[in-house]
Structure 1
């Protein structure tokens, strides 16, 4: 059992923007992550460009397409007109739709699919017609994968923040069960399964073992934090091990 690792480089960009200098290099560290075997890169551009900038989106796309054919590019974001225009220009492999508010420090909830059904059907249909796989960011609620299927999503990404951020055993067990039940519901509903937020080397293996259908995890904060200790390449290898990803380095 294994899940593929997509490295979210938002935190790298946030650190760069803190001093408005060209380092740390988002492209450079993204390249190191891919060389170490990451399955792909994830970015989540926001309108205020407080971390990933529009210019980063094209630079990373060109690097992946030229130097790492077969690896995936995932762009996350709230599908307003500006975001839809950006992804149509970038043409990533996957678009993850997230119901962000500009005031949020980070994503902290999934879609109310029933309330936005018509909107999501239109946006997902538009993106898929242009060759992009669409994943819908959802809370850990077992009925949501079925609704995601109804609006045309290829995959769901379960928001795992409550699980990853739970440090009291009873709360952690409760949130773990909710994620697993939702992941199993995704398989029954016929949609692919991704997960992300506050996943670490410690809490990943158990989740991967419980959900054989988990295809991809998108991780940024924990990878960036561990990279300060181990370096990016070794951190990616450690997270790949936690994901059960046993592909050879040559692959």
Structure 2
């Protein structure tokens, strides 16, 4: 079964926030994405609300509950008490925990699982008691012993950070090396019963190779590259292109144009 596609709405929200106006509509674009076949929506509400605002969360939750109950809501963030309260209030299907400093522009590294075990384990248990699936953001190249500790937290999945792979858009040899790291870590994670998600700098050009190398890939969360493509192709067509890429097939137009856009 192909990986599911969750559309990250942060880039849409950042465009909206450039003006004190309600467009582009985060929920309006989210609706278009779900109507086109996306399997869910992702947001990363940061403490300064520089893109997704806290006030967006109930609207996105209502959109999914009222019109697309078969799809999922994924909230990413650093598990501060304020973030956990926000999550508990809006009950996403999945929470992706990231080790970000609040000032970071974007997620750029995974958890050091061994040294984070005592911190993460009670957080994971707290979320799972509410029936929320928990995914932990992970570096692309993680030793087996570290993944065993990730499983010890009680998490259901890891999300592989694909930024280093996406950064090799102009160097196929380096991309192949980074892809192999992702594949090996995914296989080790699966051996511990962890599901595998992926996200960051994925595009219609580089996603098919990831989907092929990691056949059990459960979900990809994509924002920047998908939004960039939507400026040219529209959101509905862009979602359809990324869904095709999730099957390991590169859309013809992207291949011929040599797209190298980032995402996530």
Task: Place the TM-score, normalised by the shorter chain, in its bin.
Answer: over 0.9
Cα RMSD (Å): 1.2
8 Å CA contact retained: 1:4, 1:39: yes
Does residue 41 of the first structure (1) align with residue 41 of the second (2)? yes
Mapped to 2, the partners of 1:222 and 1:147 lie a distance apart of 32
- Whether 1:156 aligns to 2:171 is no
TM-score of the pair, normalised by structure 2: 0.91
C-alpha distance in 2 between matches for 1:145 and 1:36: 35
What does residue 67 of structure 1 align with? 67
Q: Distance in 1 between matches of 2:130 and 2:90?
A: 11
Per the alignment, residue 103 of structure 2 pairs with 103
Deviations 1:60-106 (A, max 9, x none): 00110110011000000000011000000001000000011122110
Does the Cα contact within 8 Å between 2:207 and 2:248 map onto a contact in 1? no
Unaligned runs of 5+ in 2: 250-264
Partner of 2:205: 202
8 Å CA contact 1:111, 1:139 repeated in 2: yes
Report the CA distance between 1:57 and its aligned residue: 0.9
How far, CA to CA, are the matches of 2:6 and 2:148 in structure 1? 25
Aligned residue number for residue 243 of structure 1: 246
Q: Offset of 1:134 from its aligned partner?
A: 0.2
Partner Cα separation in structure 2 for residue 31 and residue 145 of structure 1: 36
1:17 aligned to 2:17? yes
Partner in structure 1 of residue 231 of structure 2: 228
SS at match of 1:48: coil
Instruction: Please tell me whether the aligned partners of residues 158 and 194 of structure 1 are also in contact (alpha carbons under 8 angstroms).
Output: yes
1:215 aligns with 2:223: no
CA contact (8 A) 2:212 2:248 kept: no
* Structure 2 residue corresponding to 1:165, chosen from 164, 167, 190: 167
Contact 1:4–1:245 (8 Å) recurs in 2: no
Point out where structure 1 has 5 or more consecutive residues left out of the alignment.
247-251
Deviation at 1:245, TM superposition (A): 8.8
User: What TM-score does the superposition give when structure 1 sets the normalisation length?
Assistant: 0.96
In the TM superposition, structure 1's runs of 4+ consecutive aligned residues that sit over 3 Å from their partners are none
Structure 2 Cα separation of the partners of residues 232 and 162 of structure 1: 26
Partner deviation per Cα, 1:30-49 (whole Å, 9 max, x = no partner) = 00000000000000000000
User: How many residue pairs were aligned?
Assistant: 246
Q: Distance in 1 between matches of 2:21 and 2:174?
A: 41
The Cα offsets for residues 2-25 of structure 1, whole Å up to 9 and x where unpaired, read as: 111000000000000011210000
CA–CA distance in 2 between the matches of 1:86 and 1:127? 12
